[in-house]
Structure 1
Amino acid sequence: MTAPASEHSGLLGTQGMRAAVTGIGVVAPGGVGTEAWWSAMLRGQRAIGPVTRFDATGYSAGLAGEITGFDDAAHVPDKLLPQTDRVTRLALTAATEALTTAHLDPAALPDYAMGVVTAGGAGGFEFGQRELQALWSKGSRHVGAYQSFAWFYAANSGQISIRHKLRGPSGVVVSEQAGGLDAVAQARRQLRKGGHAVLTGGFDATVCPWGFTAHLAAGGMSTSRDPARAYLPFSADACGHVVGEGGALLVLEDSDVAHARGARVLATVEGCAATFDPAPGRGAPRLADAARLALADADIAAADVDVVFADAAGGRDADRAEAAALTELFGPYGVPVTAPKSLTGRLGAGGSALDLAAALLALRDQVIPPTARAGPLADDCPVDLVTGAARPAGLRHALVLARGRGGFNAAALVRGAPR
């Protein structure tokens, strides 16, 4: 299990190596597959609604961003179905798409040249819940052997590496919502050490009774039953967030290797950084520091950032803190800001990976996806929030921000491929 990047890790030894994104795989609320999901985001299609995966009538929160139209058996071999949680099946599907869109056959690479680094904040929660229910109600003889690993945070990395024979340096990052960006930072370090390619990103799936119980205990969930009002980041009416499931995986390659094989480069990851907040009452949050470090790693000035994909927690205090960080970096209303996760819910480790995928596609298509219409913008959140409809824009650099419970902050700066 790999620890998240230190606050200065994105600044060490990056010269001479550029990390190119050549493939994307997405399974998320709004669409199974990258283009289906992206189309829904550009339309501003809200994928948040009443929970259908279990009976949530007894819970104070009843909405979620669920993935619909996903047929497990159509995407995952029969032999893997009994030994995998839903989150691993989603991740396996995204891995196949990412490799396919990258036109990359791992078997064509030298041995140990490609690994996999994923992030997961919860592991196989639903699988674990079922097995524990069997233990409590029926006894240990009714607990399957697959419980020994299907619940574990590393299950996604392990199953992906086995299925695609990715025997290079691999790992898993656990830093909640920040995990998707921290995994990409770790993958970038593996390339710097001489790897050719890494499959990286994040997935979580906790829309189950055990998951909802944990989320409610942690606080911050919206108890609104109105999908149009439940998750409104930076709004004066913000009342918490909605949980979602899914995420995204990217194929990250050494740019020289990618160009040598004639790959289409979607964008390059130019800067990564992470910081940690001090204990409560012992200092200010450090999200702005993470952004500054990522910009320094990329050798990019704040004035060169064309769009920010915000963490957008949906709570008044958290939104105010993020708006203050953005104002500190860019000035009031200084850069377009968007939060497409307001259409899908917060996906745990999958959320920042999905935001990174959205940033790459925004650079490709020169358009900023909208935030769910948020009603009145809060007076203490002076950000140029893109709402209502996608906004065409000339985009070269995108900054993606993420925060995880426990004080994790992460930032990544991506540059679009030359047009």
Structure 2
Amino acid sequence: MNASGVRNAVITGIGVVAPTGIGTDAHWQAVLRGKSGIGRITRFDPASYPVRLAGQVPGFVARDHVSGRLLPQMDVWTHMSIAAADAALADADVNPAARPEYDMAVVTASSSGGTEFGQQEMVRLYQEGPSRVGAYQSIAWFYAATTGQLAIRYGMRGPCGVVCNEQAGGLDSLGHARRLIRSGTGLVVAGGLDASLCPYGLTAQLTNGRISTVDDPDGAYVPFDASASGYLPGEGGAILIVEDEEALGDRIPYGRIAGYASGIDPAPGRGRPRALGRVIRGALADAGIAPRDVDVVFADAMGTPEDDRDEAAALAEVFGARGVPVTAPKTLTGRLYAGGGALDVATALLAMRHNVLPHTTATTQLAPGCEIDLVLGDPRQRRLHTAVVVVRGHGGFTAAVVLQRD
């Protein structure tokens, strides 16, 4: 409980399923080495698509994490979420069966739902007829399917929910988790994943016009670079266990959710600034700190020239030109939509635990107008106490989280 008598929400467990690897250690080692998980799409033949590269989770076998009876009831996005949640609970040393069921909740984020499952059933409908469509089509595609499956799996009957704010959702789920902790819930499973690397899912993603069509894994997604041309999609993300700090006993958390804010961009043509700057300032104010107290910013890193300039301008406005180290490890994974913010939070917590600033791979030459101290070349050793994670989602959704550790 802080000085104002408000419960501190701390993160005690991390579970990662991402293009950089399955498991927290695999992901962290890939980040330190700059080992990219981006390559040619293998889930289907992408030859007829303008985008052929993405961040795919390597070696994921759903049967290793989900029973055979449940496998056909869920999309791969839910399979991956279960694997991440199991790992996060084990990391937090939490046994849900030993806790009051109404004292635990699940709040996940999703931006695409079960698109691969939905595509599979639509193909059956049009090729074989309605009798061949599985009963689980009614639930497996739905955005809240993962929240429901996790709540059932662990017997968590507290206030559960799902956030559908595209890239911002992973951070917004943590904002909701903190609110639940402050209102008396003891534990919340939060974070998010997405897995929409199927023809239907990729076609939907292409409509935003921001995906890079460069067919070079090393040069397609280079945020803040003079040659930036967009981003690459990816799958996966992270699940995080959020608890009331006073209930930890001897367990040591990764860090606490010290500040959170969200907002949305004004409609185009209104002449008003985008939301990122005020959202960052709002998160800092919520945490009760000044910009000078921040040790690192994990950037949204959209990868398009205009969006990169807007983000760099917002960071310079809040922190001063080159006023704080900025990094974007998501160049190793692509943008994971609802999983992106959650994975950035996991990476930021690991960075603070190990006092290492991860570097941004691929980017080599900052574009004009990007006056930021982007961490390039190699990781930097530095004492880290406070990190800010920022995200912007399609449609203007924007969020920022302040993370701190003692």
- Give the TM-score, by structure 2 length: 0.98
Q: Determine if contact 2:39/2:217 at 8 Å carries over to the other structure.
A: yes
How far apart, in 1, do the equivalents of 2:211 and 2:309 lie? 17
Matched, 1:76 2:59: no
Matches within 5 A, 1:353-364: 353-364=342-353
How far apart, in 2, do the equivalents of 1:15 and 1:148 lie? 44
How far apart, in 2, do the equivalents of 1:111 and 1:211 lie? 35
- Cα shift at 1:270: 0.3
RMSD: 1.1
How far apart, in 1, do the equivalents of 2:350 and 2:382 lie? 13
Matches within 5 A, 1:64-103: 64-103=54-93
Matched, 1:281 2:269: yes
How far apart, in 2, do the equivalents of 1:409 and 1:98 lie? 26
What is the total number of aligned residue pairs between the two structures?
403
Give the partner amino acid of 1:158.
Answer: G
How far apart, in 2, do the equivalents of 1:111 and 1:140 lie? 39
- Structure 1 residues 15, 139: closer, same or farther in 2, change over 3 A? farther
- Cα shift at 1:108: 1.7
How far apart, in 1, do the equivalents of 2:250 and 2:67 lie? 31
CA distances 1:351-386 after superposition (whole Å, capped 9, x unpaired) = 000000011000000001111131211121011111
How far apart, in 2, do the equivalents of 1:257 and 1:36 lie? 29
Once superposed, which parts of structure 1, at least 4 consecutive aligned residues long, lie more than 3 Å away?
none
Matches within 5 A, 1:182-261: 182-258=172-248, 261=249
Matches within 5 A, 1:25-174: 25-174=15-164
Secondary structure of the structure 1 residue equivalent to 2:253: coil
Secondary structure of the structure 1 residue equivalent to 2:220: coil
How far apart, in 2, do the equivalents of 1:30 and 1:196 lie? 31
Q: Determine if contact 1:237/1:375 at 8 Å carries over to the other structure.
A: no
Secondary structure of the structure 2 residue equivalent to 1:82: helix
How far apart, in 1, do the equivalents of 2:4 and 2:156 lie? 24
Aligned twin of 1:5: none
Q: Determine if contact 1:270/1:298 at 8 Å carries over to the other structure.
A: yes
How far apart, in 2, do the equivalents of 1:149 and 1:222 lie? 32
Give the partner amino acid of 2:215.
Answer: R
- Cα shift at 1:87: 0.3
Q: Determine if contact 1:310/1:402 at 8 Å carries over to the other structure.
A: yes
Aligned twin of 1:179: 169
Structure 2 unaligned segments of length 5 or more: list them.
Answer: none
Give the partner amino acid of 1:262.
Answer: D
- Structure 1 residues 107, 169: closer, same or farther in 2, change over 3 A? same
Aligned twin of 1:6: none
Secondary structure of the structure 2 residue equivalent to 1:223: coil
Q: Determine if contact 1:373/1:388 at 8 Å carries over to the other structure.
A: no
- Cα shift at 1:44: 0.6
Q: Determine if contact 1:25/1:248 at 8 Å carries over to the other structure.
A: yes
Secondary structure of the structure 2 residue equivalent to 1:218: coil
How far apart, in 2, do the equivalents of 1:173 and 1:340 lie? 24
CA distances 1:114-164 after superposition (whole Å, capped 9, x unpaired) = 111000000001000000111111111010000000000001101111111
Secondary structure of the structure 2 residue equivalent to 1:274: strand
Give the partner amino acid of 2:230.
Answer: G
- Cα shift at 1:111: 3.1
Give the partner amino acid of 2:95.
Answer: D
How far apart, in 2, do the equivalents of 1:95 and 1:14 lie? 32
